[in-house]
Amino acid sequence: MQAFQVQAFDRPASLTEIQCPPPGPGEAAVALRACGLNFADLLMMKGSYQDTPAPPFTLGLEAAGVVTDLGAGTQGFAPGDRVAVFGGSGGLAEAGVFDAARLIRIPDAMSFEHAAAMQIAYGTSHLALDHCARLQPGETLLVTGAAGGVGLTAVEIGKLMGATVIAQARGREKLEVAAAAGADHLVDAGEDLRSTVKALGGADVVYDAIGGDVWKAAFRSANPGARLLPVGFAGGDVPQIPANHLLVKNLTVIGFYLGGYMKFRPEAVRRSFETLFAWHGEGRIKPHISHTLPLERAAEGLDLLRSRKSTGKVVITIGSSR
């Protein structure tokens, strides 16, 4: 089968012919139909992501497809089941073998593309804002990188939770995407983020996916007692946290990594996914997919992330659409 693999960290990832192993105990084989791309894929290609496997490995953290076979003793699924899987890797291939505990059934009405696009972006925002930050109706939520994969879902979920949302993104086109997702106030990346947010009353919750100077400005725009979520650093600079400011303003900084929750609180992730899939079925959320490309163009899809030319999600389609 074809798989988009990293053979070595000093070489570009490429399509490679590999053998798909049979599923072992507790595992399921899945014929993959779609895979969502993430900034983490770019880090894994360089070996700088916190959960990077040893080469060779197949990229693709989140995917969707159809169960084809089960290992000995595997329960809860059957061949033919349509499933989503947050496998951490292995999604950019024609098939894969995954721990069945990481599978979740998807509704018949949900496309594989939407199922593949929802897990990391929506799961990160939902767990971070609801479970960790306890965002409340009437509070003000600041989202940086608000047109990106996770940022856009934070805007959407923040509005669903009753917050006033301030969205920061680069350029009119991306700001319009954030506005369509429900943002109440828009801040261009070229504006003074701190003064603009302070003029709007400050932020009660900060959801930052950029890091660096953007994080510094967002941090300084936070109200006393605010909760701050550094969920990524797409700008390249890891956020730094001045503890003296935490003390003076009684701020709480909450580190959040969805992959970590899969290891120590998997039931929380599953509940979140089930909630999100139900919201999707009710028409309350809808993934924004700016680009859909076939597996042979996976490198092009990753370039779209690298150059920040995408909004929302880039999804790779694989084989049949059903």
Give the C-alpha separation, 164 to 182, whole Å.
9
In this prediction, residue 224 carries a pLDDT of 97
For residues 284-310, give the mean pLDDT.
Answer: 95
pLDDT band at 234 (very low <50, low <70, confident <90, very high): confident
Name the residue among 208, 31, 38 with its Cα closest to residue 117. Answer: 38
> What pTM, to 2 d.p., does this model score?
0.90
pLDDT digit string, tens, across residues 97-140: 999 999 999 999 999 999 999 999 999 999 999 999 999 999 99
Domains and CATH numbers, the chain: 2-119+263-317 (3.90.180.10), 134-253 (3.40.50.720)
Q: CB-based contacts of 317: which residues, under 8 Å, 6+ apart?
A: 33, 34, 112, 113, 292, 293, 294, 295
The pLDDT value recorded for residue 320 is 65
Per the prediction, the chain carries an average pLDDT of 95
* Per-residue pLDDT at 64: 98
Mean pLDDT computed over 62-78: 97
Percent of the chain topping pLDDT 70: 99
CA distance 252 to 1: 48
Per-residue pLDDT for 87 more than 70?
yes
Q: Please give the average per-residue pLDDT across 59-76, as a whole number.
A: 97
Confidence (pLDDT) at 118: 94
- 3-37 pLDDT, tens digit each: 999 999 989 999 999 999 999 999 999 999 999 99
What is the structure's pLDDT at 236?
A: 74
* pLDDT (average), residues 241-268: 92
Q: Which residue has the higher pLDDT, 236 or 179?
A: 179
The residue with greater pLDDT, 241 or 185, is 185
CB 74 within 8 A of CB 25: yes
Q: Going by DSSP bridges, is the β-strand pair 103-105/82-86 parallel, antiparallel, or unpaired?
A: antiparallel
pLDDT attached to residue 239: 84
Write the CA distances from 245 to 66, 110, 219, 225, 234, integer angstroms: 50, 45, 9, 11, 24
